[in-house]
Amino acid sequence: MADRQWEEERTIFDRFSAAAELDVAPESVRRGEGYDIACSTRSGRQLAFELTEAADERWAASLGQMMSVSALLNEALHNSADPNAAVIRQRFAGFELSILLMPGAGARLLRRHLSAIFRWLAEAPTDKAELEPPTALRIVVKQVKPRAIFPPPLVLFHSPGSAMWLGDETNRAIRQKLAKPYPRDIELQLLVYYHLQPSMPGAGERVLAMLEGADAHAFSTVWLYDEHSNRVLLRYPDI
């Protein structure tokens, strides 16, 4: 059975390593022993990473709504008789469709427009990073971003919710990782990433100030990566 958590972390790590220009050999990426990911660069340097997602707890309380939206879309995509669903599965095979709803839009409104959304996506281009819906659908859908995923080769919907910030929990997530014991015979790096929740403006500066005031930690390097913008916000120390 596929391990969805590992597949998600692997996909995020691959996007991060490309954005950070680490030159990781894709075939070397594997689970670490006592940490999340082990890999090597094409030149043979061994790397080890612990991963953690930064998400505000109050924001995370709204995940139930997002999960219901994702469940509705995926159920219709894979189990409905809508002919456009089969077209989408074929045309976007190997992709995750990240669907951003308009503020206030939820599963009830989405259900009413589901056939029209599938009809639009069945005809949408597959080579664009962002898909803007037609005017009639903009009351429910703000944007759809197709992103390549690893096997199994099926299309999945992911609903990140509205782009919003209710408070930055990044420093708390890092401190929790700093307090954990890790293997001491490796050069372990920490990757803090934004996936469900986009980063707050100035997140890199706040994390930098926290790390500069820390006495010591278990990580040789701390990275801050925003998957929404595919940007590395911080590398500490920057050497």
pLDDT digits (tens, 9 = 90+) for 121-149: 999 998 888 999 999 999 999 999 888 76
pLDDT digits (tens, 9 = 90+) for 53-110: 886 555 444 444 555 677 788 888 888 889 999 999 989 888 888 888 888 777 788 8
Give 120's pLDDT tier (boundaries 50, 70, 90).
very high
- In the numeric block, the tokens 């006495």 are attached to 215
Q: What was the pLDDT predicted at 171?
A: 63
More confident residue, 211 or 239: 211
Cross-sheet strand order for the sheet of 95-101: 141-148, 95-101, 156-158
Mean pLDDT computed over 194-221:
77
Give 207's pLDDT tier (boundaries 50, 70, 90).
confident
Q: What was the pLDDT predicted at 119?
A: 96
Q: Is the pLDDT of residue 117 over 50?
A: yes
Q: Sketch the domain layout of the chain as residue ranges.
A: 4-58+166-236, 63-158
Give 165's pLDDT tier (boundaries 50, 70, 90).
very low
Q: What was the pLDDT predicted at 56?
A: 54
**Distance, first Cα to last Cα, the chain:** 41
**Which of 14-18, 94-98, 184-188 is most confident?**
14-18
Share of the chain above pLDDT 90, in %: 35
Question: 166 — alpha (psi -120 to 50), left (phi > 0) or beta?
Answer: alpha
Q: Is the pLDDT of residue 170 over 70?
A: no
Q: Is the pLDDT of residue 5 over 90?
A: no
Give 19's pLDDT tier (boundaries 50, 70, 90).
very high
Q: What was the pLDDT predicted at 176?
A: 66
Q: Is the pLDDT of residue 8 over 70?
A: yes
Given 3-state DSSP classes, what are the helix, strand and coil percentages for the chain, each rounded to the nearest 5?
A: 35, 25, 40
> Which range (17-26, 55-64, 172-181) has the least confidence?
55-64
More confident residue, 160 or 38: 38
Q: What was the pLDDT predicted at 160?
A: 57
pTM of the model: 0.56
Mean pLDDT computed over 2-8:
77
Give 103-107's long-range contacts (Cβ < 8 A, gap of 24+).
103/162, 105/139, 105/140, 105/141, 106/65, 106/68, 106/69, 107/65, 107/68, 107/69, 107/72
